[in-house]
C-alpha cells in the first residue's frame, strides 16, 4: 500500500521572509560586529569595507537596506550612494548612514540635501536595529 501525503487545505505553513542588508564600513571590527548583531536579529547580512566593493555587491545583488559609513577610502559613502542610486533607483530611500563626522560641513550638507537617515557614531545598537526595522516597514 502506497501512502501519498496531501496537504490539508486548512494546514498553514509559516514562512519567514528574510531581509538582505549590506553593511559598508572600513572599520572592519565595527562592520563584523554589525554583521553578527543583525544576523542574530534574523537579517541576511553582507559586509564590505569600501564603496567600490559595495558597488560590485549592489550590481550583483538586491538589498532591502544598506548601512553605510560616510568617510571611507577609495570611494566615500556619499559617492557610493549617488552611484548606487543611479544603478538601482529603488535603493534611494534604503540607506542608513553611520558617521562620526555629522558636524563636518560637507557631510552635513550631503545628509540634509538628500534627506537620508543617519546615526552618529557611537550609536546604541538597539537604535540601529530600530532604524533598520522602521526603514523596512
CA–CA dist 133, 114 (Å, integer): 21
pLDDT digits (tens, 9 = 90+) for 93-136: 999 999 999 889 999 999 999 999 999 999 999 999 999 999 99
Strands (E), 1-134: 19-24, 43-48, 65-69, 95-99, 117-120
Distance of CA 100 to the CA centre of its chain: 18
Domains for the chain: give ranges and CATH numbers. 22-135 (3.40.50.2300)
CA–CA dist 25, 129 (Å, integer): 17
Give pTM, 2 decimals: 0.87
User: Is there a contact between 45 and 86 (Cβ–Cβ < 8 Å)?
Assistant: no
pLDDT digits (tens, 9 = 90+) for 12-62: 555 567 899 999 999 999 999 999 999 999 999 999 999 999 999 999 999
Cell representation of residue 35: 554583521
Amino acid at each position: 500500500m502506497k501512502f501519498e501525503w496531501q496537504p490539508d487545505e486548512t494546514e498553514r505553513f509559516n514562512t519567514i521572509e528574510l531581509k538582505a542588508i549590506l553593511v559598508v564600513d572600513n572599520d572592519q571590527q565595527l562592520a563584523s560586529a554589525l554583521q553578527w548583531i543583525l544576523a542574530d536579529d534574523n537579517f541576511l547580512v553582507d559586509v564590505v569595507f569600501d564603496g567600490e566593493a559595495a558597488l560590485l555587491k549592489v550590481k550583483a545583488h538586491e538589498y532591502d537596506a544598506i548601512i553605510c559609513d560616510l568617510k571611507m577610502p577609495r570611494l566615500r559613502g556619499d559617492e557610493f550612494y549617488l552611484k548606487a542610486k543611479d544603478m538601482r533607483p529603488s535603493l534611494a530611500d534604503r540607506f542608513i548612514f553611520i558617521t562620526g563626522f555629522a558636524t563636518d560641513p560637507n557631510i552635513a550638507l550631503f545628509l540634509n540635501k538628500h534627506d537620508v537617515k543617519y546615526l552618529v557614531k557611537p550609536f546604541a545598537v538597539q537604535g540601529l536595529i530600530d532604524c533598520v526595522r522602521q526603514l523596512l516597514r
